[in-house]
Structure 1
Amino acid sequence: MQQENCSNSSQLNDALPVYKASSAVLAICFVLGVPGNLSVLVILVRRLKENSFTLRMMLSLAMSDLLTLLPMPMWIWSLLHDWIFGFVACKIISYVEYCCIYSSMLCVTFLSLQRYLQVLHPQKWAKLGTRGKNGLLCGIWILSGMFASYAPVQRDVGCDQHGFQYCYQHFRNKTEQVATSLFEILLFLTCFFLLVYFYYCLYRGVNESPFFSSNRMTKLVTRIVLAFFIFGVPVTIANILIVVAALLENEMLSVTADLGGKISTALLFLNSCVNPFLYTFSLRQLQRQSTVTETLGPTLQNGA
């Protein structure tokens, strides 16, 4: 289908600035995030012989972020022109991206759980053993694949409501749209509150120890939580607006929410650029913290 068969000039004039802004953000994500995550992968692969679960979790996170960012040129082209890559590519790329975004989200959440157990409850963490830890990693990818299963079903190539031929999310009815948005809202809120809870317990346990206090760790945890919140909240707000627009059957609000969703999704990809700096480049500090706190394990557990 050609663009001239889709275009509505008034809608295109309204939507084009948002599409250009989204494509600019995606371009920044690609230019910064791909080299950053590739560097992280090289560093982590060289250190895999250390047999550290933290390293394997960060490797999984870097792979998720890299796979999320690699299709960016295709999305940028489709935002500025049309989707020319076909129906099958639309579904496959959408599934891979959703799967990797959910995997990244779960990796970040499980890292907070892992740090909490390893530092404050090292004996419980040790009981998991190698099989249990590998099971956690496999579970993250299996859950991510399950969570993303709706993506290829809902993806279609055609004219979106702004007049572009696009690989877009097509809902059969309002119920499906509301259910999808509510699922994404619930998943983000669950991961965010778990992240905050485990890092808060870790922070409290470490800093209540009379032997050790780490301002660096406090700053690192604050940055992790803020990054997760800042990049995840716009998408959640857009989903809330989509639900409200669908329930009220407000077409104008629906168009606004859709445009806001495109920008917030582009911002979400920035998180894949920030993750290497927050986690891998802070790995030395986390490992130093782990060594000290594990030495003080019994004291910390009493303090917690």
Structure 2
Amino acid sequence: MWHQTKVSFLKVLPYPSLSRPQLHIHISSCEMTMENMNVSNSSHVGHTSVGMLVSSSILGMCCVLGVPGNVAVLVMLARNLKEGSITPKLMMSLAVSDLLSLISLPVWIYSLLYGWIFGHGLCKFLSYLVYWSLYSSVLCITLMSVQRYIQVLYPQRWAKLGRSGHNGLICGIWTLGSLFASYALVYRTVKKTNENLVLCSPSFRDNQEKIAILLLETVVLFFVPFLSLLCFYLRLYQRIRQSSFSINKFSKMVVRIIVTFFIFSTPCMIINVVQMAVTKELEDGTNVLGALFFINSCVNPFLYAFPAGTPPCRTRQHSSDQALTDTTE
């Protein structure tokens, strides 16, 4: 095939100065370029199969399972939403934040496998959207534990908030989450890795900025929600245990929430602590362990909304009794 191409090409040459050796050199250089491209592609595929296939598989599983689950939660709660209760509103807010973090996963999966091709602007915007939804989701989980604690132990104080207070708390979650996530607009950028793969990844100006951001993520995304879940739900467990209500469903729910959050959040926080101590970028470990954090958004509907069923429509004479009933159902 190459010989036929050389003969046909020489027949139409208007100048005798281009000889066969020169043409052979041009063809040989073209063949060498193709070989280099094949070697580069094979090395890229090899790197992907080793370093990023696991994280992309985890993200794909979260997207397939989490998106329908959170959509089902929104449909279920929208049909049974009560104006006077904050619990279904918090569940809807949690489902929305989880859904926002999951719908962009196909883009991240593609970039892990083939590189980032969507430009700097979309890199910053999608990074901000993911961080905003993750912070809002964690803050919503934290508020749910605080809400149930206050509603049971201090029902009169909670009743004073009213509908406007409930809406203010939910708006505060999203506002605070947007502020926490704002740093993603600055430090997330498009750059090449050591394997010449273009990714949308963090780029810190110095080590102090790196430590400050990782410390913020570790405190807000792990320690604050985990300690609040542990503290408030254990106090609620003690309160319900002293009452005449059944604690079987509630105790199982508490164990599921705390254990699941701890299992899928701890690896990501460990890698953050490790990155604070070392100067080298841990690209593969960050991608894999960071992908585990999205499992929280995938399993939240099964932890919060589905076990609770539809919001209770019965009325209670005492607000603390109503809070206990809402919590155990």
When normalised by structure 1's length, the TM-score is 0.86
Q: Match for residue 143 of structure 1?
A: 176
1:275 aligned residue (283, 287, 300): 300
Asked if structure 2 preserves the Cα contact closer than 8 Å seen for 1:119 and 1:293, the reply is no
- Does the 8 Å contact 1:68/1:272 carry over to 2? yes
What is the aligned partner in structure 1 of residue 166 from structure 2? Answer: 133
**Alpha-carbon displacement from aligned partner over 1:216-268 (angstroms, at most 9, x marks no partner):** 1000011001111111111100000100113xxxx3xx43xx32221111111
Contact 1:12–1:162 (8 Å) recurs in 2: no
Q: Distance in 2 between matches of 1:184 and 1:293?
A: 40
Contact 1:217 1:286 in 2 (8 A): no
Is 2:75 aligned against 1:42? yes
- 1:204 is aligned to 2:238: yes
Structure 2 stretches lacking a partner, 5+ long = 1-36, 325-329
Q: Which of 143, 149, 153 lines up with 2:186 in the alignment?
A: 153
Bigger-Rg structure (1/2): 2
| TM-score calculated relative to the size of structure 2 | 0.80
SS of residue in 2 equivalent to 1:48: coil
CA displacement at 1:51 relative to structure 2: 3.7
CA distance in 2 between counterparts of 1:264 and 1:35 reads 23
The aligned residue for residue 131 of structure 2 is 98
CA contact (8 A) 1:8 1:163 kept: no
Q: Which amino acid aligns with 1:278?
A: L
Cα distance in 2 between the residues matched to 1:229 and 1:285: 27
The answer on 1:259 being equivalent to 2:284 is yes
Contact preservation (8 Å) 1:119, 1:290: no
Post-superposition offset of 1:280: 0.7
Distance 2:303 2:311 in 1: 11
> Secondary structure of 1:171's partner?
coil
Secondary structure of the corresponding residue to residue 149 of structure 1: helix
Matched, 1:284 2:309: yes
Q: Of 204, 207, 210, which aligns to 1:177?
A: 210
CA distance in 2: counterparts of 1:290 and 1:284, whole angstroms: 17
Compute the displacement of 1:119 (Å). 2.0
Determine whether 1:193 maps to 2:227.
yes
Task: Kindly indicate whether the alpha-carbon contact (under 8 Å) linking 1:40 and 1:276 is maintained by their aligned counterparts in 2.
Answer: yes
Question: Is this contact kept in 1: 2:261–2:296, CA < 8 A?
Answer: yes
3-state secondary structure, aligned to 1:19? helix
Aligned to 2:3: none
How far apart are 1:16 and its partner, in Å? 4.0
The match for 2:106 is 73
State the match for 2:196 in structure 1.
Answer: 163
Q: Which amino acid aligns with 2:106?
A: P
**CA, structure 1 residues 126+9, in 2 after alignment: closer, same or farther (shift >3 Å)?**
same
User: RMSD over aligned Cα, in angstroms?
Assistant: 2.6
1:119 to 152, 155, 158: 152
Q: Which moved more, 1:281-290 or 1:198-207?
A: 281-290
Q: After TM superposition, give the deviation of residue 123 of structure 1 in Å.
A: 1.0
CA distance in 1 between partners of 2:318 and 2:271 (Å):
41
CA distance in 2, matches of 1:144, 1:58: 16
* CA offset digits 1:83-135 (Å, max 9, x no partner): 11111110100001100000000011100011111222211110111111111
CA apart distance, 1:191: 1.7
Q: Equivalent residue of 2:309, what SS? A: helix
> What SS does the corresponding residue of 1:227 show, helix, strand or coil?
helix
1:64 match: secondary structure: helix
The alpha carbon displacement at 1:284 in A equals 3.4
The 5 Å alignment of 1:221-236 reads 221-236=254-269
How far has the Cα of 1:293 moved from its partner?
8.7
How many residue pairs end up in the alignment? 285
Q: Is the counterpart of residue 82 in structure 1 residue 115 in structure 2?
A: yes
Percent sequence identity over aligned pairs: 45
Identify the range of structure 1 (283-292 vs 136-145) with the bigger mean alpha-carbon deviation.
283-292
Equivalent position to 2:247, from 182, 190, 214: 214
Letter of the structure 2 residue corresponding to residue 261 of structure 1? T
Superposed displacement of residue 189, structure 1: 0.6
What CA distance in whole angstroms lies between the structure 2 residues aligned with 1:290 and 1:200? 26
Unaligned runs of 5+ in 1: 300-304
